[in-house]
Amino acid sequence: MAKTIQAIRGMNDILPEQTPYWQYVEETFRQLMQAYGYNEIRMPIVENTALFKRSIGEVTDIVEKEMYTFDDRNGDSLTLRPEGTACCVRAAMQHGLLHNQVQRLWYSGPMFRHERPQKGRYRQFHQFGVEAFGLAGPDIDAELILMSNRLWQKLGMSDEVTLEINSLGSSAARQQYKDVLVKYFEAHQSELDEDSQRRLHTNPLRILDSKNPAMQLLNENAPKLIDHLDDESKQDFEVLCSMLDAAGVSYKINPRLVRGLDYYSKTVFEWVTDKLGAQGTVCAGGRFDGLVEQLGGKATPAIGFALGLERLIELLEMPEEVQRQNSLDVYLVLAGEQALVKGIPLAEQWRNQLPQLKLQVNCGGGSIKSQMKKADKSGAAIAFILGDDEIEKNVLAVKFLREKKEQDLIELNNVAEYLREYS
């Protein structure tokens, strides 16, 4: 036998047993976006490689080592999107959505990064993304945070996540801070790990973002960006904090929160959990006031966040009705030639009468016994048994599969009524 072909490592199939959970989260998110007046945008999964190099930054984990980049048949360098913000900005610019107007957008879909697969870290993973353009904050910053906060509430997981915020300041302030930071790390050069050595003169801020425990103490004692903010950023950050206080959202100011991507400025935030080990960030976002201009557009203030669905779903305790979503109400058993012909149009009629009904018709024949086995396996609450005898008498038999209850006999033209009462 030929060797079977397997999925790519780190790219998961989401099986029918799991999809109700995904649908539940997706639907909850979609409704939330609607409630705040955000509109969905859908972008292609593949973009020109230059888009990510120019936006995310050359000296970032993503661009340095995680992108799925390939030449297409024309020799153009393309990349499977590792994140959505750059794509969203590209699309919004290309279609003139940013001309002197505010845009509140959201998207969802797969992202691709060549990382070492482990729990909560995959090579194809899924994000919800939200981006607001044309607003300089901090009111919109608060809106995004409140919106994510409401999502946790709706999903019943507020206890699982905590909010961390920081400000990265203006790019000028950050430049000055970088000099201070480089001086500090240069004075401790021997304590830097290999990654940090490399980043010292390319992207020193990223050293603060290091996940290496050996770097922790050094990072904790480093000069803090928040002490080097420009006046405007400082004031905006204070207003944001007071807005969150007024809304009753608790947060921790984390001065080492710098985010892994180059394009962030001013407000940054993360929702983190301690329940997923090292993969603790569920939702991450921030301002990217320079990105539109950096990609060739007119300077446009912007803020967004991205939320990892795999991590979110891992954390969720699913409501029972979601767990039951795949199970049927009725399984229709057809015994005899007449029944076989009449069964399908009858089922259609019931579906017309009861649009919510989850009904499956036995296909592929089989004895009553084997059909009843299938009915049981289907998870249906009841089985309808339609044989030629029953058809002649214009009735069908109802068998209860999940409760101890006598079999029923009902009139064929009474079925909808019966089911309405039963449910």
| Sign of the CA dihedral with 354 first, then 380, 25, and 61 last | negative
Starting at the edge strand that comes first in sequence, how are the strands of the sheet with 408-411 ordered? 359-361, 330-335, 382-387, 395-400, 408-411
Smallest distance from the beta carbon of 20 to ligand ATP, in angstroms? 20
Helix (H) or strand (E) holding 233: helix 231-247
Q: How many residues bind ligand ATP (CB under 6 A)?
A: 18
User: Can you tell me which of 143, 264, 311, 390 binds ligand ATP, judged by CB under 6 A?
Assistant: 311
Tokens of residue 47, six digits: 């973009």
Instruction: Considering the complex, state which of residue 255 and residue 379 has its C-beta at the smaller distance from ligand ATP.
Output: 255
Instruction: Considering the complex, state which of residue 313 and residue 412 has its C-beta at the smaller distance from ligand ATP.
Output: 313
| Contact call for residue 306 and ligand ATP (CB under 6 A) | yes
In angstroms, the CA 87 to CA 75 distance is 21
Instruction: Calculate the CA 116 to chain-centre distance.
Output: 20
Give me the numbers of helices (H) and strands (E) for the chain, helices first please.
17, 16
| Contact call for residue 310 and ligand ATP (CB under 6 A) | yes
| Contact call for residue 83 and ligand ATP (CB under 6 A) | yes
Smallest distance from the beta carbon of 239 to ligand ATP, in angstroms? 24
Which range of residues in 36-44, 117-125, 134-142, 347-355 is near ligand ATP by CB under 6 A?
A: 117-125
Please, which of residues 274-293 interact with ligand ATP by CB under 6 A? 279, 281-284
Measured at the CA of 256, the angle between CA 66 and CA 65, to 5 degrees, comes to: 10
Instruction: Calculate the CA 174 to chain-centre distance.
Output: 30
In angstroms, the CA 272 to CA 250 distance is 13
Instruction: Considering the complex, state which of residue 121 and residue 382 has its C-beta at the smaller distance from ligand ATP.
Output: 121
Backbone angles phi, psi at 259, to 5 degrees: 70, 145
In angstroms, the CA 257 to CA 343 distance is 62
Binding mask 236-265 for ligand ATP (x = CB under 6 A): ------------------------x-----
User: Can you tell me which of 53, 113, 256, 266 binds ligand ATP, judged by CB under 6 A?
Assistant: 113
| Contact call for residue 127 and ligand ATP (CB under 6 A) | yes
User: Can you tell me which of 122, 177, 237, 264 binds ligand ATP, judged by CB under 6 A?
Assistant: 122
Instruction: Return the residue nearest ligand ATP (CB atom).
Output: 308
148 in Cβ contact with 168 (< 8 Å): no
Binding site for ligand ATP (CB under 6 A): 83, 113, 115, 120-122, 125, 127, 260, 279, 281-284, 306, 308, 310-311
